[in-house]
Structure 1
């Protein structure tokens, strides 16, 4: 086989592989959803973008309900027990038992309520919300007040904490991916 024919075959194979990989089935395999109904239900209830909830869960726990971080954050949305207790009191949730953060329904409900709280606090700006979800609103408010960071997506690299900077970048990446792959019909 001549070089030209071989090159043409290689190009054809590569184009076929690219087309195969660039299909909704492959993208959904790469970016799966677990607990879809619970996420959509909580997103509807609190008027939060379900793609944001998905991106947070993917970044925080990879959909593992039993995940506990080194700092003590628990469950799908990696809620700190103190923050979760504040939310439970503030929102009037009634957990069944002391292990409620391991319950996917309760964890998603509490975490989505908190995202709604942060969205209200930051006028719907998801970049600031994501940063506050990770570092806490006090830190984010301090960065904004001292002009260490202006709160925009274009200046994420200015976030003083490396962990938060990387977290915001990761969540935005997943948010964009999930938004391009899944179309939720929220009513």
Structure 2
């Protein structure tokens, strides 16, 4: 039986529908089109009768998914531009590639087996996708797995990849990322991205912070936001340990926190991060370099320590580090879990290939992977680490030599 969507309500759940109505641009567009809150909302149709998302709706879907799952890691406009090129924002678009013998589906034209791989092996388990590829016709699910794939491409082979590589690899595969066959796609992508409507109500911005000793000032966050509170990320036992720490207690008392509702600090773009007092260890310097202490991570970095799901799973299953469970990539948004697996990985690196390793090797292997280390070529990472570590050494002198881990 062919899949058919007449209403938005046919392809998203009530929670996502509410999130769409909460977007000011979407609610304005829907009300102007005669839609009413509490009743089914019609999908737009092209002259051939095919449903499509308006650019306002596409931006909202992308913004919601990125805000929930890829904060600071994926540019929402990248996904919107790809949706324009791949499907004209048509959720029921389906194409068969005779060369690859693969079928792509949905607004960002994802291959079902790629989505299933991301679910089963890479830990992206917010949406149950195995066994029912037709779920990729649903915009939220399609964009979620598309964003996960873009994130994976951005650190392919443990190397930070630029936007051009990611976009061209998305179109033609890894082997065609630098081939002339994907160059025209990249040029059209840039043109489409530049012409996208201005995002007045942005879910997440993009900026860089070069002064590691001066994070952006915290801002207020709506009550109930899952990313607003420490207590939603850490276990009661871990929270109790934090409350016992004198410097943390002093900092939290100063900001008038109370048990059960301890707020994360947030930067001007509402990205949650940990203060230096909250993470005062050598691991903290690595967290600064990897993720700038943002809870979700930054770019291809997963979590505050940048330990990805596969590595954490390996440490958990094969090496026996089981103090924290890791069933999905979401588990690594818990700062305690991310730091725990970060420390476990450092321990393993310290005796990589059965040899006692130098601090320079360990730090650079943590950041780039042990197989990619050339101490002469990557020495700048060690210099950066020492620079960032000096901030923490200074803080230790002011607050006393201590660790919260």
Q: In which range does the TM-score fall when normalised by the shorter chain?
A: 0.5 to 0.7
Q: Deviations over 1:86-108 (max 9, x none)?
A: 11212242426611111111100
2:115 aligns to what?
A: 84
Q: Going by fraction, where is helix more abundant, 1 or 2?
A: 1
The counterpart of 1:182, out of the listed 174, 179, 199, is: 199
Which whole-Å CA distance do the structure 2 matches of 1:176 and 1:119 have between them? 21
Which whole-Å CA distance do the structure 2 matches of 1:32 and 1:117 have between them? 25
1:25 aligns to what?
A: none
Does structure 1 residue 39 correspond to structure 2 residue 62?
Answer: yes
User: Which is greater in Rg?
Assistant: 2
Does structure 1 residue 172 correspond to structure 2 residue 204?
Answer: no
Q: Deviations over 1:116-158 (max 9, x none)?
A: 1112235251111000001112333xx4xxxxxxxxxxxxxxx
Distance 1:91 1:106, change over 3 A: same
Q: Mean alpha-carbon deviation: is it higher for 96-105 or for 50-59?
A: 96-105
Judge conservation of contact 2:64–2:203 (CA < 8 Å) in 1.
Answer: no
Which whole-Å CA distance do the structure 2 matches of 1:83 and 1:37 have between them? 24
Judge conservation of contact 1:33–1:54 (CA < 8 Å) in 2.
Answer: no
Judge conservation of contact 1:73–1:79 (CA < 8 Å) in 2.
Answer: yes
Unaligned runs of 5+ in 1: 1-30, 144-158
Count of aligned residue pairs for this structure pair: 137
2:144 aligns to what?
A: 109
Offset at residue 109 of structure 1 (A)? 0.3
Unaligned runs of 5+ in 2: 1-53, 98-102, 205-269, 271-405
Which whole-Å CA distance do the structure 2 matches of 1:58 and 1:139 have between them? 21
Q: Deviations over 1:14-55 (max 9, x none)?
A: xxxxxxxxxxxxxxxxx8232333211222321211111110
Offset at residue 62 of structure 1 (A)? 0.9
Question: Structure 1-normalised TM-score?
Answer: 0.65
Which whole-Å CA distance do the structure 1 matches of 2:75 and 2:137 have between them? 23
Judge conservation of contact 2:59–2:76 (CA < 8 Å) in 1.
Answer: no
Judge conservation of contact 2:58–2:80 (CA < 8 Å) in 1.
Answer: no
Q: What's the RMSD between the two structures over aligned residues?
A: 2.1
Question: Structure 2-normalised TM-score?
Answer: 0.32
1:26 aligns to what?
A: none
The counterpart of 1:53, out of the listed 75, 79, 102, is: 79
